[in-house]
């Protein structure tokens, strides 16, 4: 099953909402530091409400630590970026994919993009809107991957 990776997330409610989505879908969630908040942050917990016991959470202190972990498990790293090379709806997902999302303010860093096998974008109609909310983007990407792989049944 695809896994969600948040690289340097900054806004606790976004991470809490993503954790709730991951809990509901049984998806592993990886948080790659440095984080813009403490895991015990009340806003993070409030956004996840009582779903935290159902989150398969992994914390990685740095991108290098995540990279080592990922190499042990295998699979492709797919970076979601407004400057991605492929439309996510036209991409064929695999069950061992890792869906990487960057910080709300800067997206994926060049270093994070360098570990990605490919980059994907979510098309938007209005060119004046530069990006979607992080939790919305994660849900869009994750549910498309799950739809393709038959996990929505």
Annotated binding residues for S-adenosyl-L-methionine = 102, 122, 131
Interatomic CA distance for residues 139 and 107, integer angstroms: 16
Strands of the chain, DSSP E:
3-7, 28-32, 56-60, 77-80, 86-87, 98-101, 118-121
What CA–CA distance (Å, rounded) separates 79 from 82?
10
Tracing tokens 């270093």 back to the chain, one arrives at 111
- Summarize the annotated binding site as residue ranges: 102, 122, 131
Beta-carbon count within 10 A of 25 CB: 16
Burial of 140 (0-12, 13-18, 19+ CB in 10 A): middle
Strand partners, 60: 32
Neighbour count for residue 145 (Cβ, 10 Å): 24
């Amino acid at each position: 099953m695809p896994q969600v990776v948040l690289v340097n997330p900054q806004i606790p409610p976004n991470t809490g909402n993503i954790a709730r989505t991951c809990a509901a879908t049984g998806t592993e969630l990886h948080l790659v530091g440095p984080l813009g908040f403490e895991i015990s942050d009340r806003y993070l917990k409030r956004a996840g409400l009582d779903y935290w016991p159902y989150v398969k959470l992994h914390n990685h202190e740095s991108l290098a630590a995540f990279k080592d972990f990922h190499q042990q498990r295998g699979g492709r790293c797919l970076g979601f970026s407004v400057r991605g090379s492929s439309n996510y709806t036209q991409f064929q997902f695999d069950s061992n994919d890792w869906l990487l999302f960057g910080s709300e303010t800067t997206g994926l860093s060049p270093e994070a993009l360098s570990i990605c096998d490919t980059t994907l974008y979510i098309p938007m109609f209005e060119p004046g809107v530069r990006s979607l909310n992080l939790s919305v983007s994660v849900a869009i990407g994750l549910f498309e991957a799950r739809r393709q792989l038959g996990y929505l049944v």
